[in-house]
Amino acid sequence: MRLFIAIDLLNTVKDQVLNVCADLSGVRWVQPAQLHLTLRFIGETDQAVAIINALRSIRFDPFPLQLQGLGQFPAKGAPRVLWIGCQASEPLTHLAASIETTLTEIGLPKADQPFKPHLTLARPKYSLDRGELRRWLGQQFAIDAFTVTEFVLFSSQLDPKGAIYRREAVFLAERLGDRP
């Protein structure tokens, strides 16, 4: 299975995010159902059961999260990804670190990249007009903070029309319990 761990967004948050997904030509926007904040990409593995069991040990309280700011990867040059960032948040950073530690304790390799919280919005289909991109990136984007009450282990099946995500397990905040 190809797996990743993410914060899934409420539909009300996705609706607000979609407001910024316009006015830029030459990109392939992420489908609303696929909008999420990746906490840790795992990749291909046959250890789904061990991963689920390990993730059940993670405890966290609900915490606020605010999406704000637009950017690109890489930071300079032609973008491969356009994204919305997150306001700095100790609970979010702590949750991602707990997930990383838990996964390495069961033998998974460390993440390839340091955790940089963002929400992928689009991937360019071809070289973008620099002025148009600069105007888009210069927008002041922020939405009201929302409360994170869970994280999700997703499987991802690659398809010519785009990846298909499936919830494999949901892990609720401490005061809420958890459910497979």
Question: What pTM did the predictor assign?
Answer: 0.92
Q: Is 36 a catalytic residue?
A: yes
118, 128, 133, 136: the active-site residue? 118
Confidence at residue 176, expressed as pLDDT on a 0 to 100 scale: 59
Length of the chain: 180
Parent domain of 158? 2-176
For 95, which DSSP code?
H
Total domains in the chain come to 1
In Å, the largest CA–CA distance within the chain is: 49
Confidence at residue 62, expressed as pLDDT on a 0 to 100 scale: 96
36, 40, 82, 148: the active-site residue? 36
17 is written with which tokens?
Answer: 């995010």
Confidence at residue 20, expressed as pLDDT on a 0 to 100 scale: 87
Confidence at residue 163, expressed as pLDDT on a 0 to 100 scale: 84
Kindly give the interhelix angle for 48-55 and 90-105, rounded to the nearest 10 degrees.
130
Q: Is 94 a catalytic residue?
A: no
Say which CATH number the domain at 119 has.
3.90.1140.10
Confidence at residue 177, expressed as pLDDT on a 0 to 100 scale: 53
Q: Say how far apart CA 20 and CA 140 lie, in whole Å.
A: 10
Could you state, in chain order, the average pLDDT of each consecutive group of 10 residues for the chain (180 residues)? 96 91 88 94 97 97 96 94 94 98 97 94 92 93 94 93 91 71
